[in-house]
Chain A
Amino acid sequence: MTLSLGKARSAMAVPPADDEPRFRLPKISRRVLANVFLPISFVLFLLLVWQISTQAFHIPPYILPSPSAFLSVLVQRSDVLLMMAKQTAEATLMGFAVGVTVGLAIGGLMGSSRVMYDMIYPSLIGVHAVPSVALIPVFIVWVGIGPQIAVITGAIASFFPVTVIVASAIAASSPELDDVLRSLGARKIDVLLKVSIPQALPQFFGSIKLAISGAFIGTIVAEIVAGSVGIGHVMVIATNNMDGPLAYAGLTILATMGVTLYLIAVLIEKRMTGWAYRRN
């Protein structure tokens, strides 16, 4: 029998039976242990191994800096790094917003009309087949070098998953639910608003997760190839100067940003489409 906090309290009034363990961690702290304490300890352990190996094997910092080296750079130059991170975050979110808006519009159009779907889909595949990195030189000709390149590349990288997923989700709306509405004399727009779109929301928010990482990757690639600001640009400067600690400080920021963006997308998804997840 497990002891929750409430039961532990009542156990004070009534002495526990002999066959029950005297002391067990309450359920809550076991969850915290598994979800917070263990993962963090694991990261600290990896950093420790890393630190010891770089010192023990005398690895030069431009090849692999020790955690203490790049973490202290992270702190010392935090003002510049934060400014650059802000640039990257802005470009990512703007690219993401543009990409999702365009994706929703095209996907919605394709999903609600068979003709549109058949007409647009091949071109879409064609456009997507070109790696977005290859488009950056073309964009440079259009808008010059700078943060705007990152926004465009981010948008290009994020609109595709949204378009394709929204289109198929809306097109696949259940015929039985359609019948319910049709028997009430609903117009096509009613069916779209009351059934198809709500039904497509879980897939849409799933596609948002792909879109946010797409926008992030697109932004970083553009900053590396043609940027004048942003963490991607920091990476280029750091590696050109053989500044290993700075490069790894940049990578740390990128990892943190990537995880944060993903978590935000997951949070929005859970909030908007809770009905689709039966458990909890």
Chain B
Amino acid sequence: MPPLVDLDRVTLTYGEGRRGTPALSDTTLRIAEGEFVAFVGPSGCGKSSLLKLVSGLVPATTGNVIVAQREVTEPIKIVGMAFQNPNLLPWRNTLSNVLLPVEIVQPHRSRLRQDRDAYVTRARSLLKTVGLADFEDKLPWQLSGGMQQRASLCRALMHEPSLLLLDEPFGALDAFTREELWSVLQTLWMERRFTVVLVTHDLREALYLSDTIYVMSARPGRILVRHEVTFPRPRTLASTYEPAFVDALSELRGHISEARGGAAPV
């Protein structure tokens, strides 16, 4: 089966000419359908740029970005995105925020009028999975940060994207809420098996959630290490304290220290 995402010697430079800021240099990688991939690395290493490349929000400076056997030249429809900031529309309640993508993305857009009930049912079932069943008519400011982020996840999944792009989605949350949402995301992913690209600063998060971890170098970003995670699923918080997990964590931490140009941790 051909990979869902195929980056071939991709570079990205913001701005033009000598003044341009290189964000990503010579990146080649493939992501299989249904794979859960995480990118970790020091800040400013071009992780988020990579997501923008894949989603088509910015064009590659050189090289090819191919998603679902098509070269990406403009924003593509098969992706769902969630950001560090939940970015819910403040004048819409939770349910209608979750319904937003199907008001825009074809073919749902033209079906929405006649199949509205089916879409509402789908949005409700997503909200139920993330534990927001009783909050569908609340406005965003009435929800906690963690609840808003759950709603944002539902919105990203509403139009059944085959590719979910997550840009530090749990970065602004407290540790307990974050760990809770790992489990929520894992459940959603195991149920529906979409492909996920997760950008994160949190190595435990990457190990808990993903099949493959790419460690990136400081700017301009480049892939240093590809690390496969083979722990059985579903993973639990308890499993993050098992020796194998802890070993993998310290190995990754070593790579990151190298990437930042510092000494390896003692």
Residues of chain A whose beta carbon lies under 8 Å from any beta carbon of chain B:
176-177, 179-186, 190, 194-195, 198-199, 201, 273, 275-276, 278
Would you give the shortest CB distance from B196 to chain A, in whole angstroms? 15
Q: How many residues of B contact A (CB 8 A)?
A: 23
* B-chain residues with CB within 8 Å of residue A276 when the two chains form the complex: 90-91
Is the beta-carbon distance between B57 and A195 smaller than 8 angstroms?
A: no
* A-chain residues with CB within 8 Å of residue B77 when the two chains form the complex: 184-185
Is the beta-carbon distance between A198 and B91 smaller than 8 angstroms?
A: yes
Is the beta-carbon distance between B57 and A185 smaller than 8 angstroms?
A: no
Output the nearest chain B residue to A273 by Cβ-Cβ distance. B91
Given pairs A185-B105, A194-B104, 13 additional interface contacts (CB within 8 A): A176-B83, A176-B87, A180-B83, A182-B75, A183-B81, A184-B101, A185-B76, A195-B89, A198-B91, A199-B91, A273-B91, A275-B90, A276-B90
Would you give the shortest CB distance from B203 to chain A, in whole angstroms? 26
* B-chain residues with CB within 8 Å of residue A186 when the two chains form the complex: 104
Which one of B55, B74, B75, B139 contacts A275 once the chains associate, using CB atoms below 8 Å?
B139
Would you give the shortest CB distance from A191 to chain B, in whole angstroms? 9
Is the beta-carbon distance between B85 and A176 smaller than 8 angstroms?
A: yes
The CA-CA distance from A186 to B91 in the complex, in Å, is 19
Kindly state whether residue B159 has any CB partner on chain A within 8 Å. yes
* A-chain residues with CB within 8 Å of residue B104 when the two chains form the complex: 181, 184-186, 190, 194
Would you give the shortest CB distance from A196 to chain B, in whole angstroms? 11
Kindly state whether residue B141 has any CB partner on chain A within 8 Å. yes
Would you list which residues of chain B between 32 and 89 have a CB under 8 Å from chain A? 55, 57, 74-77, 79, 81, 83, 85, 87, 89
Residues of chain B whose beta carbon lies under 8 Å from any beta carbon of chain A:
55, 57, 74-77, 79, 81, 83, 85, 87, 89-91, 100-101, 103-105, 139, 141, 159, 165
Output the nearest chain B residue to A177 by Cβ-Cβ distance. B87
Is the beta-carbon distance between B91 and A275 smaller than 8 angstroms?
A: yes
Majority DSSP secondary structure for residues of A touching B: helix
Output the nearest chain A residue to B79 by Cβ-Cβ distance. A183
The CA-CA distance from A278 to B77 in the complex, in Å, is 35
Given contacts A180-B81, A181-B104, A185-B104, contact A198 B55 (CB under 8 A): no
The CA-CA distance from A179 to B79 in the complex, in Å, is 13
The CA-CA distance from A190 to B103 in the complex, in Å, is 9
Which one of B75, B89, B139 contacts A183 once the chains associate, using CB atoms below 8 Å?
B75
Q: Which of B75, B79, B104, B165 has the most CB of A within 10 A?
A: B104
* B-chain residues with CB within 8 Å of residue A201 when the two chains form the complex: 91
15 A-B contacts (beta carbon < 8 Å): A176-B87, A179-B57, A179-B81, A180-B87, A181-B104, A183-B57, A183-B79, A184-B104, A185-B77, A185-B105, A195-B89, A198-B89, A273-B91, A276-B91, A278-B141
Output the nearest chain B residue to A186 by Cβ-Cβ distance. B104
The CA-CA distance from A194 to B104 in the complex, in Å, is 10
Q: Which of B74, B100, B139, B159 has the most CB of A within 10 A?
A: B100
Would you give the shortest CB distance from A69 to chain B, in whole angstroms? 52
Is the beta-carbon distance between B75 and A184 smaller than 8 angstroms?
A: yes
Would you give the shortest CB distance from A18 to chain B, in whole angstroms? 41
The CA-CA distance from A278 to B141 in the complex, in Å, is 8
Output the nearest chain B residue to A178 by Cβ-Cβ distance. B87
